[in-house]
Amino acid sequence: MQIRINYIKMCAQAKELQDKWFPSFGDYYWLGNKYLCISDACRILVDTTTLLSLQHGKGDNIWLPQPAQLQSLLGYENISVNVLNKLIFIRNIYQDNFDVQDMSDCELWLAFYMFEKYNKVWTDNHWIYYYIAKPQTCKRCGRIQHVVWSVSDKVWEDFCHETGWNKNKTICLECFAELIGHINFIKLKNIDSFVSFDRLWDSV
């Protein structure tokens, strides 16, 4: 198993994960934060004495779960297309928002686990809460929109009045642009100045 210092830090800070650890034979673990840069401080649980000792009290030891163990915690016996798409989604979050271009398998699966279970992402050596809005479906064309956009209340009211659109229904930006093309732009002034965009997620 590929173990990098960053993965050890991620595991050490993932208190929710460490609480799930029930030591078993074959587990990888680290002797604690004070041994962070000491390569031989990484151990594999193979003897009964150590097993019983860790089951009695884990102390400062840090569990370094393998990808298969994280998959088990997530309840994924088989890796489906849906799971792979979720993994790609998590990787893209890190690449697009935290400029993380290289993640080991262990780091990716841990990032996936922490996001799925606790809505947390790893940044600046800490896990932080990270909320994402659910994609919405356009009630005109059925397109699922992944971009949150908005206009001023005045423009929205004028748009709905002129087009007959129900102001309580979701519409995608493409349909909005198509319908607004039939409206007198002079009446609504410069529409571009009223449109604003946000990503689907906000970190807090």
| pLDDT at residue 20 is higher than 80 | yes
Using alpha carbons, select from 70, 68, 31 the residue that is nearest to residue 53: 31
| pLDDT at residue 195 is higher than 50 | no
Same domain for 120 and 162: no
What pLDDT, on the 0 to 100 scale, is given for residue 94? 86
Distance (Å, whole) CA 12 – CA 161: 56
Burial of residue 117 (CB within 10 Å: 0-12, 13-18, 19+) is middle
Same domain for 121 and 23: yes
Same domain for 197 and 143: yes
Same domain for 11 and 92: yes
> Final residue of a domain: which of 114, 132, 150?
132
What pLDDT, on the 0 to 100 scale, is given for residue 99? 75
SS3 16: helix
> Final residue of a domain: which of 132, 166, 193?
132
What pLDDT, on the 0 to 100 scale, is given for residue 148? 59
| pLDDT at residue 198 is higher than 60 | no
Query: Domains in the chain: how many in total?
Result: 2
Q: Say which residue the tokens 């031989």 belong to.
A: 40
> Final residue of a domain: which of 80, 100, 132?
132
Asked whether the beta carbons of 60 and 31 are under 8 A apart, the reply is yes
What pLDDT, on the 0 to 100 scale, is given for residue 201? 39
| pLDDT at residue 188 is higher than 50 | no
What pLDDT, on the 0 to 100 scale, is given for residue 106? 92
Give me the DSSP letters along 110-166: HHHHHHHHH-EEEETTEEEEEEEPPPEE-TTT-PEE-SEEE--HHHHHHHHHHH---
Same domain for 197 and 125: no
Same domain for 46 and 75: yes
What pLDDT, on the 0 to 100 scale, is given for residue 22? 94
Strand order in the sheet with 62-63: 42-44, 28-30, 62-63
Residue-number span of the structural domain to which 189 is assigned: 136-203
Q: For 170-183, what is each residue's pLDDT tens digit?
A: 888 788 888 877 65
Distance (Å, whole) CA 204 – CA 191: 31
What pLDDT, on the 0 to 100 scale, is given for residue 67? 92
Residue 109 CB: number of other CB atoms within 10 A? Answer: 24
Average confidence (pLDDT) over 85-92: 84
